[in-house]
Amino acid sequence: MVTHNVTATSTEMLAGINPNWGDTARFSRITVLNDPNRTTRICVTYEGVPKGSEPSEIGEGADGTNCLHSASDST
């Protein structure tokens, strides 16, 4: 997934991916509005499971492999 030049408003997270299934997400030029405390999570990783099961969250933020973004790419 590539997310470029996006404005998000009042959201908790922009993307959730399953690295164990080969998912990747790349972000650039992201603007988040209505988030004065900068709590919006850009990329959250989950341990992908078979359909019908709930995945477990395993991490968040840029990891250089599956979640690709830098602080300078978001405002």
Rounded Cα gap, residues 20 and 65, in angstroms = 12
Low-confidence ranges of the chain (pLDDT < 70): 73
Tokens describing residue 66 = 């599956």
Q: Where are the domains of the chain?
A: 2-73
- Using CA atoms, how far residue 49 sits from 4, 22, 24, 32, 55, in Å, is 28, 13, 16, 30, 6
- Length of the chain as a residue count: 75
- Using CA atoms, how far residue 19 sits from 36, 52, 56, 60, 65, in Å, is 30, 18, 12, 11, 9
